[in-house]
Amino acid sequence: MAAGLTDTAEADGREAPASGLPLRGDRVGRAVLGLLLPLGLAIGWEIAVRGGLAQGRLVPPPSRVLATLSDLAASGELWLHVQATLVRVASGFVLGAGLGIALGAVTGTLPLARHLLDPAFQALRAVPSLAWVPLFILWLGILETPKVVLIGVGVFFPVYVGVSGAIASVDRKLVEVGRIFRLSKPALARRILLPAVLPATIVALRTGLGLGFLFVVAAELMGASEGLGYLLVDGQQFGKPEQILAAILTFALLGKAADTILVVLTRPLLRWQDVARDIL
Amino acid sequence: MLTFRNVSKTYADGTRALAGISVEVARGEILALVGGSGCGKTTLLRLAAGLDTASGGTIRLDGEVLDRPHPGVGLVFQEPRLLPWLTIAQNVGFGLADLSAPERVRRVAHALERVGLAEHADRWPRDLSGGQQQRTAIARAFVAQPKVLLLDEPFSALDAVTRQDLHGHLLGLWAETRPTIVLVTHDVGEAAVLADRAVVLRPKPGRIHDIFAIATPRPVDPDANASTTRQLRAALGASLRASG
Ligand SMILES: Nc1ncnc2c1ncn2[C@@H]1O[C@H](COP(=O)(O)OP(=O)(O)OP(=O)(O)O)[C@@H](O)[C@H]1O
Ligand SMILES: [Mg+2]
């Protein structure tokens, strides 16, 4: 056990100075650069309000937003809302992404299914998803189900379009490599199609996740007794802009965190990619 | 024995790529296929590989009709076509899924050794030079030990020195299992060095212009082949002028 631990520590130690450190420094530098503008604005506003240049009633200074946030956190209320929102996004994401991948794969690989289903999906996609809300409420009530379904709809379309498009544009040249080695249909799907569409699928999933957060707000605005969207509505009704901003800030952090987790989890799958990201 | 009997190919858009190709390739023979650009060399290999179907005639391997990919027939494409998500070793072992893991590892290691890529086994294709990628593709085809290997200008993108190197690698690999090889090339010198016979094609539609026996035994001395090379070059020139 102890030996195992030492081994990993050593392995890490060997790698870090070689490539890890300079890269990490670079990344920190970039993060700082990205924070400069929002931090500057926040600090500027804080100073303006404290110095009496502005009232800060409708746009509360960052300190008041943070105080609200920490109050909510201390009372445990915040976690309740965060949890409610995350459970909805997660359920909707699993639903929408699962169906999007499955149906995208089917229409991408089977021409018959494509001709049968794709026109209908494309037509449905043209409907602004929020237009479904009244129908969902009529059909599914106002509890959790319509919310999750709405989020699922929001996630479904980018994932479906991304996956079926990616499969349709897999390089014929690589498929021929599979044919030369006489792969069966399932083997071809697993060994050529799947890895080939993975990068586009992950991009589609990221888009879908972003839309999931967009739609959870809409879903919670349509009536909820908990969730970050509820905090928004509550803040508006009782004139608490700091609560609204606190909820928005939390949304931003959660959205970014969820995206980052997705990226980090999938990065090992894409190490082989030859992309321009690092030179642009 | 690989036999082409009266093979023709007209593409869906009406392009007549090949017409009446008949030639027999003996077991273990290396046959060079030379001819100008667009005279149907790739088309012929794709038909033999079973990737496309002939519009007329038949291609047989030991009597068996080749109209779909066959386990006994390997193809090296005009481009390396490595799978970018697999390492070099995994690419080479791509066609060996049916073998046990140790056997696969052993064969892949041997093939990589043969083409001088042993130390690149765990790199990604994107990190290799064009010639290294091409060698990987050659190893991938050889490692499956097919009876027939179809090579579509595998060296065309390379400089003369690397080319000569690869000729050595190719003959080394060939000597191990002595597959029948059909080698497409633009380069008559290459044909003279590597092949037992050379088929010169003429275009529009692709037909056989002439067939040359190359007498010199391998390993080949380029100088001794000078006259064959000259002959081939003249034939190739004539075939290009004779188009239509
Ligand atoms: N899929 C296709 N559809 C229609 N025509 C094609 C197709 N593939 C090739 N051709 C045509 O068939 C002819 C022979 O093409 P082929 O690729 O076999 O030539 P090649 O001898 O391999 O040429 P190169 O030396 O440039 O590789 C050309 O005129 C080409 O335009
Ligand atoms: Mg060609």
> pLDDT by residue for chain A (280 residues), tens digit each?
344 433 433 334 333 344 444 556 677 888 888 888 988 998 998 898 888 887 877 888 888 889 888 988 889 888 999 999 999 999 999 999 999 999 999 998 888 999 999 999 999 988 888 888 888 888 887 788 888 999 999 999 999 999 999 998 899 999 999 999 999 988 998 999 999 999 999 999 999 999 999 999 988 888 778 888 888 888 888 888 888 989 998 999 899 999 999 889 988 888 888 776 655 5
> Confidence class of residue B171 from pLDDT cuts 50, 70 and 90?
confident
DSSP B206: B
Amino acid at B233: R
Q: What's chain A look like in SS3?
A: CHHHHHHHHHHHHHHHHHHHHHHHHHHHHHHHHHHHHHHHHHHHHHHHHHCCCCCCCCCCCHHHHHHHHHHHHHCCHHHHHHHHHHHHHHHHHHHHHHHHHHHHHHHHHCHHHHHHHHHHHHHHHHCCHHHHHHHHHHHHCCCHHHHHHHHHHHHHHHHHHHHHHHHHCCCHHHHHHHHHCCCCHHHHHHHHHHHHHHHHHHHHHHHHHHHHHHHHHHHHHCCCCCCHHHHHHHHHHCCCHHHHHHHHHHHHHHHHHHHHHHHHHHHHHHCCCCCCCCCC
Same domain, B158 and B176: yes
Q: Is B11 close to ligand 1, i.e. is its CB under 6 Å away?
A: yes
Same domain, B132 and B63: no
Instruction: Average the pLDDT over B196-210 and give the result.
Output: 86
User: Using CA positions, which residue lies closest to atom 18 of ligand 1?
Assistant: B40
Complex ipTM > 0.90: no
Q: Is B38 close to ligand 1, i.e. is its CB under 6 Å away?
A: yes
More confident residue, A106 or B236: A106
Same domain, B103 and B173: no
DSSP B150: E
Whether B223 is covered by a domain: the verdict is yes
> Confidence class of residue B223 from pLDDT cuts 50, 70 and 90?
low
d(CA A23, CA A9): 19
- Is A273 close to B144, i.e. CB distance below 8 A? no
A278 touches chain B (CB under 8 A): no
Same domain, B155 and B197: yes
Is residue B213 over pLDDT 60?
yes
A267 touches chain B (CB under 8 A): no
Taking only the tens place, the pLDDT of each residue in B122-169 is 999 999 988 889 989 999 999 988 999 999 998 877 777 778 888 888
Same domain, B135 and B177: no
β-bridge pairing B148-152 and B180-185? parallel
Whether B131 is covered by a domain: the verdict is yes
Taking only the tens place, the pLDDT of each residue in B45-78 is 999 999 999 998 899 999 888 889 999 999 999 9
Residue B31 is part of a domain; what is its CATH number?
A: 3.40.50.300
Same domain, B36 and B130: no
In degrees, rounded to 5, the angle at the alpha carbon of residue B160 between the alpha carbons of residues B155 and B166 is: 45
Whether B49 is covered by a domain: the verdict is yes
Instruction: Average the pLDDT over B163-177 and give the result.
Output: 83
Query: From the centroid of its chain, how far is CA B218?
Result: 18
Same domain, B183 and B207: yes
Same domain, B56 and B94: no
Choosing from B7, B9, B11, B53 the residue with most ligand 1 atoms within 8 A of its CB, the one to mutate for a pocket test is: B11
Q: What's B218-236 look like in SS3?
A: CCCCCCCCHHHHHHHHHHH
Domain boundaries, chain A: 1-54, 60-270
Choose among A177, A272, A274: nearest Cβ to B81.
A177
Q: Is B15 close to ligand 1, i.e. is its CB under 6 Å away?
A: yes
Domain boundary among B105, B130, B145: B145
Interface test with B, best of A172, A176, A180 (most B CBs within 10 A): A180
Same domain, B13 and B122: no
Ligand 1 atom at shortest distance from the alpha carbon of B43: 18
Same domain, B41 and B152: yes
pLDDT at residue number B216: 63
Q: Which CATH class is domain A60-270?
A: mainly alpha
Whether B24 is covered by a domain: the verdict is yes
* Closest ligand to residue B186's CA: 1
Same domain, B105 and B161: no
A267 min Cα distance to partner chain B (Å): 13
Closest CA to A203 of A127, A88, A129, A100: A100
Contacts 24+ apart (CB under 8 A), A186-193: A187/B97, A189/A109, A191/B94, A191/B97, A192/B83, A193/A109, A193/A167
- Is B69 close to A181, i.e. CB distance below 8 A? yes
b (16+ CB within 10 A) / e for B178-196: ebbbbbbbebbbbbbbbbb
Whether B77 is covered by a domain: the verdict is no
Same domain, B66 and B161: yes
User: Using CA positions, which residue lies closest to atom 2 of ligand 1?
Assistant: B11
Domain boundary among B96, B118, B145: B145
Residues B31, B196 contacting (CB under 8 angstroms): yes
- Is B124 close to A181, i.e. CB distance below 8 A? no
Residue-number span of the structural domain to which B137 is assigned: 82-145
Choosing from B43, B156, B239, B243 the residue with most ligand 1 atoms within 8 A of its CB, the one to mutate for a pocket test is: B43
Amino acid at B183: L
Q: Which residues of B touch A196 (CB under 8 A)?
A: 85
